[in-house]
Amino acid sequence: MTEEPRAAAEDSQPAPTPAPALEEAQGTHLVAHEDYLAAVEAVLMVAEEPVTPAELAAAVNLPVHQVQALLDELRAEADGTPLDWPGEQDTARAPRRQRGYELREVAGGWRFYSRSRYAEQVSAFVLGGQTTRLSQAALETLAVIAYRQPVTRSAVAAIRGVNVDSVVRTLVTRGLLDTAGTDPVTGATLYVTTAEFLERLGLDSIDELPHLSPHLPGVEDLDEINDAAP
């Protein structure tokens, strides 16, 4: 007899409110919160400019207000600050430490940055690498840009078949590449070689770059192929 009122009281308690990012756009069905969190994080990892919540929402197929909640959670995780949503009792997901990077809201968008307190160490790494030899990937990227300039990163990536964003940043840092406006069609940044590049190669101008055709395999057979063509 005494258990019934208690059970009734328990049933009358309001259900815990889930994190805002857990509500599916089409209804109240809960979805994989961690997957959406990781998806937003992955997009931000490859972004070179601040990404707006609307752009992120389109990428992960969620409403903007839910993406905003995910961004708040990612920022809290990077800062080492637990973000307690109403009804959330799982403390296992609480961050253990502050990360070396931070998620900033700048220029109307969001982007990951290295934490300012480690600027000295980051600068030592980036600038210290200027005395090291270029990797094979950097040499190949530099060659493509030298012969196709002005050219966008996407065009270089299409030629090489791999992402070249980090390589281009390295070449710019070393003073071998520079920007030269934007593509009139796509608006993407155009890249060209610098005077430092010419100096390293002992050239006065790009026109002095060696012709590629003599170095391509099978070039000597092109005339015969053309002659044999109907």
Domain range list for the chain? 3-115, 133-221
Among 81-90, 125-134, 142-151, 153-162, the range scoring the smallest mean pLDDT is: 81-90
Q: Are strands 177-182 and 109-114 parallel, antiparallel or unpaired?
A: unpaired
Angle at alpha carbon of residue 140, lines to 130 and 180, rounded to 5°: 70
On whether the 3-115 domain is CATH 3.40.1670.10, my answer is: no
Side chain identity at residue 71, one-letter code: L
Question: Phi/psi at 71 (nearest 5 deg)?
Answer: -65, -40
pLDDT of 64 above 90: yes
Average pLDDT rounded to a whole number, residues 161-179: 90
The tokens of 229 are what?
Answer: 């063509």
SS (H, E, C) the chain: CCHHHHHHHHHHCCCCCCCHHHECCCCCCECCHHHHHHHHHHHHHHCCCCECHHHHHHHHCCCHHHHHHHHHHHHHHHHCCCCCCCCCCCHHHCCCCCCCEEEEEECCEEEEEECHHHHHHHHHHHHHHHHCCCCHHHHHHHHHHHHHCCEEHHHHHHHHCCCCHHHHHHHHHCCCEEEEEECCCCCCEEEEECHHHHHHHCCCCHHHCCCCHHHCCCHHHHHHHHHHCC
The CATH number of the structural domain formed by 133-221 is: 1.10.10.10
Q: What is the pLDDT of residue 21?
A: 47
Side chain identity at residue 156, one-letter code: V
- What is the rounded CA–CA span in Å between residue 227 and residue 230? 8
Of residues 76 and 122, the one with the higher pLDDT is 76
Q: What is the pLDDT of residue 193?
A: 93
The predicted-structure confidence for 88-132, as pLDDT tens digits, reads as follows: 445 455 547 889 999 988 878 898 988 989 988 887 776 665 556
Average pLDDT rounded to a whole number, residues 138-147: 92
Same fold, 3-115 and 133-221: yes
- What is the rounded CA–CA span in Å between residue 205 and residue 39? 45
